[in-house]
Structure 1
Amino acid sequence: MVVGVLAVTALISTVVFAGIDHFVSRQFEALHEERVQRVAAQVSEGVERELYRLGNLSRLLAQDTDLINSTYYHLYLEGEQDHPVAAVGRIARAFGLESIGLWAPDGRVVASDGAGDQAPVAVAPMGDLSRLRDAESGLRSGGNDEFWLVAQVPIEHNSNVLAWMTLAEPMVRLLDTLEQTHSASIRPAADDAPTRDVVRIAVGREASSGTESNPVYLDVTAPDVVGRALTEVKRLLGVIMALSAVLLATALAFVLHWQLKPVTTLSEYIGAVGRGEFGGQAPLPRGRGELSSLVRSFNAMSTALARLRDMERRLRHQEQLSAIGRVAARVAHDMNNPLSVISSAAATMKRRIPSGDPLAEYVDLIDHHAQRCGSTVRELLEYGRPVTPRLQPVAPAEICEGILRRWQRRQPQSLKVEFTAQQNLPVIQADPLLLEQMLDNLLDNAAHAATPDGTVSLHVRADGTQVRLEVHDTGPGFSPEARAHLFEPFFTGRCSGTGLGLASCLAIARAHEGDIQVPEESAGTVRVFLPTTPATTAAQTVMSPGR
């Protein structure tokens, strides 16, 4: 049925278009041809009027006393040439002539001038001047398909011909004026035959120094306003047809969608299962046919797969917790007691060492690292629990420089360490111990990637409303596999690593309302962003990854 409606609509549209093209288009074409013929006749009359005007002007100028006397003095009384030149220039400026020339009986140019933008050129006379006794006008070729409207007249003194004067205007100027008047294109005819929309008219014959040559033709082309209107009508009908086709196609698609909606819905749920999204239940269609049975079987399969996925997730989580528990128990057993002894001994030594003793600095260093190791053991035991920093105002440049200096003491001397910090950095709210734990992990990773003779650098600078800590090494950077699992717990690229370093760093950064990024465009670079605005509470709690 839908196909039949489309076929009938197409047939009706074709008949309408054929009728418009056969009847209306023919009438419009006749009107356009009549207008072009009328414009062509007016153009021909315009050229004749311009030639007539030039002829009358040449007769008037031939009576100019100053021009006659200056020409007579120059030719017969050996007067100066400046006189006829000045007279010709005055006439050119007064009447705005593009070209005016004064010719002697021997054929040489006595004077020439013009009011155009370019250097004036004396257009050569038409035919034999010796026979000229009255003004005449015509067309003269100037080369490069350029024609001039030329009028020439003898200059007489006491009924004797002294010289001949030629006035010339480029025909293109007249054509431009006619184009603006009649809203048409008027240009010298080309060598090939005119097209259907062009009317070719003869406006005179080209005159030369000898006999007359071929006629001069102009091609007149008028804009087909009516034709454009007809084209717009056809375009509108085409749009209407297209909209009709779209509406019909929409109706057809709606019908097919309504009939095949259960299959389409089921295919979407199958795609979700293919992406690993289990547990989705497709709606059951009406009835109890084969399609309903297929949907029930799919729903049962999706439910079973969801149960298997949940069991797998729970098992993986239990394995992670079990591994954390084993590591934490072993570390607590091996380190807690020695750390307690070290801390107690350091405290006793601090009380007994006099103030100002050089050993006091090393005792403070022992006590500091004992506290740090104890904090690390506690963080390992608490991994998977909320990270709660004890925030306090710290200067990022000073604390990072101190952390880097203490870390450098544990590294080989061949490793180059660089530190830069922007001036006047804002104060941040941070936990110094957690900040040192995070930077130590990042610096250890950088030192391992850079090799003992490489370079590890730490840069601290402001970045908008944040402070950016950037750790960079000269190593090869992260592999594509490592980038896909950077912050996953227990993923490591080193044989001796536990895979908790970057995960712990991310947890610490987010506990400070910050973040960690590993840019792809810079190999071996890790950026830590910490906010410069104070935290909303004294201590912020962020769930660590894997929880």
Structure 2
Amino acid sequence: MTRRIVWTLGVLTSVLLVLAVVPLAVLMTARERVAYRDNQRAATRVIAAAAEEHLSDGKPATAMRQELDAAARAGDCAAVYDASARLVASTPCTAAQGEEAAELVGRVLSGNEPEPPENEGRLLAAEPAGEVRRPAGAVVLARSAAPLDTRIAAIWGWSAAIGAAGLAASVLLSVRLARWVSRPLSTLDASARRLGEGALDERADVGAGPPEVRRLAATFNTMAARTEALVHGHRAVIADVSHQLRTPLAALRLRLDVLATGAEGDTAAELAAAQEEIARLSRLVDGLLAVARAEEATPRPTVVRVDKVVAERVAAWSPVAEEREVRLTASDGPALAVALGAGHLEQILDNLIANAVEAVAAGGSVTLDHRAAGHSARVLVRDDGPGMTAEAKAVAFRRFGNPAARGTGLGLAVVHRLVTANGGTAQLEDTPGGGLTVVLDLPLWPERGHERGAASLKSGRNRTAGP
């Protein structure tokens, strides 16, 4: 934003300066040329007046000679011609003589207005001596154009300096303005990013920037405070529900266990069914709490090695799979690092492997695979079980979306919430030959932040392992 504001104001200032300074410099240059010409013609008329007294009245050439000497001392070249265009007197400099001077004299003696030319860096001017219609002669004065060029160069130099100073001042002010506007926005952006990463106590600075930005920061702080209150309230509700439900369920299960010890016949069967329902209710409560925690998760991304986590979860679930006579394997894949919340990938894979092992019949197989897919890491969990219908897949990620599920029907809901909370996607596909494949696309960890992420992951693990 800073660069854009500076460029915009710089271009606008440049255009305004060009539109203001250039025409002014052109006007001043034209006026300087006119003033220089007028001054030269005035000096020529003075010599012409003295020459007329000599040419028309026959007076001595003393006055004319004095004016020619004064012109020579001033650095001008002058020449006096009679009515026949013959040279009568001149300064030592001969720049007022020659073909161009003769042409000027001819036009003056014929009563025409001459067009003053430039000869070897000198400007020529011609005036009649006497009446314009019947002049007694003509005077030609050649004056160096160097002073005029110097003044014109000074005009354009000062104009350029003023323009450069104005542009520099504009750039300086635009930089200050851009920083005044963009710095609070950058701070607000950083605060929003940290809030999105899970720092619920993050607040923006409301004392800097334009009033609109300050109001935006205040609104952000209000939103952040309400979000923090909602999340903390949600967490408190989850903790209360977890305690208030699990405690009576555990007590009820213990009582049923005591009653079942001495029960026989139909009573024992009924108590066993009640115990199964209590166990199912406990699993259901645990599943609902897991979904609630996943929904309110605000993860702080850390670097997670997909290949290592996949290998760890396969090793952890292998005994369960062997007990059910299911072959659980992991395909070789590249070493990929993804940006996920600490422990989320483990929880995702645990739910998927549990569902797959539960769905596959004895002798079946479950395979985990991972690979790079553009800017994402793709993780696939394949099984050769009964699969899902198109209708079941469409609602599988909802709570209790699959009524035919053997478990609580909440595992895929937990997976979906955790994956999307970390900026990834999850979808269900049919396995070639029969079965279900869960496809996860997880955001790769940026290489430039790999070391920092690894350090944060290590510190997080240390904190988790602590007392």
Question: How would you bin the TM-score normalised by the shorter chain?
Answer: 0.3 to 0.5
Structure scoring higher RCO (CA < 8 A, sep ≥ 6) equals 2
Q: How high is the TM-score relative to the length of structure 1?
A: 0.29
Larger helix percent: 2
